[in-house]
Structure 1
Amino acid sequence: MGETISGLAASAIPISAHFFPDWGEAIDGDLWLIPVWGLAAAAAFRLLFSSPFELWKEEKERADRGASVISEIGAGRPLRFTMLEFRFDYSNGPTGPLTEIRFSHENVGIHLVSYCLEDFTIEIDGQIQTTTPPPQTVFQQPATRGHFDCRLSSPITIPSFPSTVKVGFSYSYDTVPPTKVRRTGGVLRYVLCGPQLGDPVEGFWYESQIEE
């Protein structure tokens, strides 16, 4: 903007000289330059003071819009599932049955979240076991990660590896203070490469996903 005003001020001199050739002579000395220098001073003031303020204002508005979007995302869908951990019973040796699943998650919002694991099904090589989770409400602080352990209704001995495992689950959750009950979950597919601690686990892949 400042450059535009300066350009107009500079172009005023030859234009005035063209249309009013006697204009400069009618004014003593350099008094006719006063309006031109006034325009130039106004342009310099805008360039030095107004333009940086306008740039700062635009950046602040952009940052405020970004913070608002992040806040809305956190308030709308704050609980994020992150991973599963398959936990085996090694009390009788280096290998053992699958006894527990650990669900890991993250609260990406700015409010405390309360959640409950509603249902849980595990399928290993076509054999399905449904486990009723304990009616336990868990609280997760904002911007933190946590986990929830769920024991199987009965231990599962996996006959051979690698083995394909599908886990279906759903959480219900709400913020504190409460705003709206939501559900998240799905069916995940993994490939277990061995029963021992440290054996690789491939996945996960979503077979289906729930966001309500």
Structure 2
Amino acid sequence: MMDGSASKTRPNSHRAIDELRDLIFSGELAAGSDHLETELAERLHMSRTPIREALLALEGQGLVEMRPRKGARILALSPQDMGEIYEILTALESVAARNAAMASYGDDDLTGLARAIDNMDTALEANDLRAWAQADDDFHTELVRLGGNSRIMSVVSMMADQVRRARAMTLFMREKPHQSNHDHRQVMEAIRKGQPEVAYKIHHAHRTQARRTLLGLLDKHQLRSI
């Protein structure tokens, strides 16, 4: 966590990115809505320059579309979009799991994965699905990092926000994700034991099921991600 002095020196454009992302993820800036730079600058109590820089960064992340004379439009994601994104994530993260299992990691190297899984278990026991979602993000981020492929890290990072948006809308519609915790623990054990094909197979099946669940909820409730 940043102290007060660090927060004060942080560039306004970085703060604008974080605050706009929070507004998009919470639905306060709804999918399909248009917002002028002047409106957003007033809302965040900033000048237009950091707002413009933040919007350009968010456009690169697929969250907004800059429209001449109309400002920024908050983009929605269709089930087809999510299906394509999950297809890519499933392939790349599974390769990362296999690579990690080939890297001869010791227990000390896997503390990040173990901590994320423990936090997922604790969150479910407390019925705190938002905390579970954060711990789940932490697991996938650490898994990809352990895979050691910088290009996979870059592509997965670029798509992570879209996945979080769709999951935020369906988080409380699904059954409690106990199976997800179990799958993650099995992947970690395969990495620890140096079993690359087992790690690949388990994670591929896990992501495939996650995709099926998410798309089913989006279709059933005729939702578009926020």
Class of the TM-score when normalised by the shorter of the 2 chains: under 0.3
Report the structure number with the largest CA radius of gyration.
Answer: 1
More helix by share: 2
The alignment's TM-score, normalised by the length of structure 2, stands at 0.22
- Name the structure, 1 or 2, with higher relative contact order (CA <8 Å, separation 6+): 2
